[in-house]
Amino acid sequence: MTDWPEKKLGFGLMRLPKNGDDIDIDATCRLVDEFLAAGFTYFDTAYVYQGSEDAFRKCVAERHPRGSYTIATKMAGWKLSPDYTPADMFADQLARCGVEYFDYYLLHSLQESRGTVYEDNGCFDFCQKMKEEGKIRHFGFSFHGSPELLEKLLTDHPEVDFVQLQINYVDWENNAIWSGKNYEIAAAHGKKVIVMEPVKGGFLASLSPETAAPFTAIHPDASPASWALRFAGSLPAVAVVLSGMNAPAQMADNVATFGDFQPLTDEEQAAIAKVRDNILSVPTVPCTACRYCTEGCPMGIFIPDVFKAYNMILTFGEHNRPHFYYSGQLALGSGKASDCIQCGQCEAACPQHIDIIEQLQKASAVLDV
Ligand code: SF4
Ligand code: SF4
């Protein structure tokens, strides 16, 4: 079975249950068995998800017939070198996953900051060759960039079958995530869409009662996560909605949502719009991520990225995700928010007239802790 799944829920293997530092294989096997027993088939992993491809082999490939599941994994272009080619990585992935072919194979995380690493390493041509040899059944890429880049990639590479996009109802019109615009571009090119982060890294699963009131007014017992998943699953071009399940209750809720999937009604879409308004009504730093401010910053502070993390905290409260994102930016070379020497260069450059110095001080108070 290698076509698109009948049921749209996919099992994301990025955040599997842990036993200490290691993936808990027994607990993962139980989740896998429950998922398959409920009639679902699609698993999603990646070369760079630590231990995940091996866990897939142990929990799925070595325990279930090949025809009962489908597997998607991803090539990490930034790990390639002249000594470690796409063919080397692909062979390692087949061995790690314990399969002879991949039902779905993706180039991982295309975006502006990755440059042309996939073109430079011949990855598109290599995947097309693997497809012709039957080792890849469907070829695509996951994407974190702008609508302009997505349009260019899909125009330059009509051989791509599908794209994996960040789609959730809060970021539908977000000018840094572009859920809506990127979905529409993919659909206009006739591509299937795989949805990642439908609950925005868990944020949309834990709404306050006040924020979620429009949901509970219609379905008092439905979880906020089920609303977010149904939003993604109701989009016509969407083939699979990924959920990174790591607990039995989460699995049960997701399986129930997609077991007998009901697209959102007009009344339910209106409730989604109200909850989105509730979430977005929280005042945040109105940064559009244009980055006019960053080039001249003597302290090398990735100002819009600091504000992105800070805005996540303002909107959703304390959560490990913004801190994880912020420390990732520091690892990429950003100065800390607290490094600001108040030179004022950025404020002069900002078309949104943001009081950047003061906002960085507030951000620093919650991020540099
Ligand atoms: S005021 Fe601070 S953030 Fe702005 S450019 Fe100067 S050092 Fe960088
Ligand atoms: S110039 Fe202003 S709006 Fe643009 S990225 Fe910097 S802070 Fe954000």
246-252 long-range Cβ contacts below 8 angstroms, 24+ apart: 246/15, 246/16, 246/17, 246/31, 247/17, 248/30, 248/31, 248/34, 250/225, 251/31, 251/34, 251/35, 252/34
| pTM listed for this prediction | 0.82
Ordered by start, the domain boundaries in the chain are 9-275, 303-367
Q: Do residues 84 and 117 make contact, with C-beta atoms less than 8 angstroms apart?
A: no
Q: Over the stretch 185-198, which tens digit does the pLDDT of each residue have?
A: 999 999 999 999 99
- Inter-CA distances, 248 with 16, 62, 72, 153, 221, Å: 12, 22, 22, 38, 18
Please check the confidence at residue 82 and state whether its pLDDT lies above 70.
yes
Q: Which residues of 106-142 are buried (b: 16+ CB within 10 A; e: fewer)?
A: bbbbbeeebeeebeebebbebbeebbeeebbbbbbbb
Please check the confidence at residue 217 and state whether its pLDDT lies above 90.
yes
pLDDT at 1: 43
Q: Over the stretch 245-287, which tens digit does the pLDDT of each residue have?
A: 889 999 999 999 999 999 999 999 999 999 999 998 988 898 8
- Local structure of residue 272 (DSSP, 8 states): H
Q: Which ligand is nearest to the CA of 291?
A: 2
- Rounded to the nearest integer, the mean pLDDT of the chain is 94
Q: What is the mean pLDDT of residues 118-143?
A: 97
Measure 346 CA to ligand 2 centroid, in angstroms.
8
Q: Over the stretch 306-349, which tens digit does the pLDDT of each residue have?
A: 999 999 888 887 778 899 999 999 999 999 999 999 999 999 99
- Local structure of residue 241 (DSSP, 8 states): E
Whether the CB of 349 sits within 6 Å of ligand 2: yes
Residue minimizing CA distance to atom 4 of ligand 1: 346
pLDDT at 198: 95
Please check the confidence at residue 176 and state whether its pLDDT lies above 90.
no
Q: Which of 227, 181, 244, 231 has the alpha carbon at shortest distance from 46?
A: 244
Whether the CB of 286 sits within 6 Å of ligand 2: no
Q: Which ligand is nearest to the CA of 361?
A: 1
Q: What is the mean pLDDT of residues 149-172?
A: 96
CA gap 367, 170 in Å, rounded: 23
Measure 299 CA to ligand 1 centroid, in angstroms.
7
Q: Over the stretch 221-236, which tens digit does the pLDDT of each residue have?
A: 999 999 999 999 999 9
Please check the confidence at residue 2 and state whether its pLDDT lies above 60.
no
Query: Quick one: pLDDT band at residue 203, thresholds 50, 70, 90?
Result: confident
Q: Over the stretch 36-46, which tens digit does the pLDDT of each residue have?
A: 999 999 999 99
Q: What is the mean pLDDT of residues 7-16?
A: 95
Q: Which residues of 201-219 are buried (b: 16+ CB within 10 A; e: fewer)?
A: bbbbbebeeebbebbeeee
The fold adopted by the segment(s) 9-275 is TIM Barrel (3.20.20)
Residue minimizing CA distance to atom 7 of ligand 2: 287
What percent of the chain is predicted at pLDDT more than 90? 82
Q: Which residues of 346-358 are buried (b: 16+ CB within 10 A; e: fewer)?
A: bbebbeeebebee
CA gap 240, 195 in Å, rounded: 6
Whether the CB of 304 sits within 6 Å of ligand 2: yes
Strands (E), 178-245: 192-196, 238-243
- Local structure of residue 84 (DSSP, 8 states): B
pLDDT at 16: 94
- Tokens 């390493």 — which residue? 121
Number of Cβ within 10 Å of residue 345's Cβ equals 16
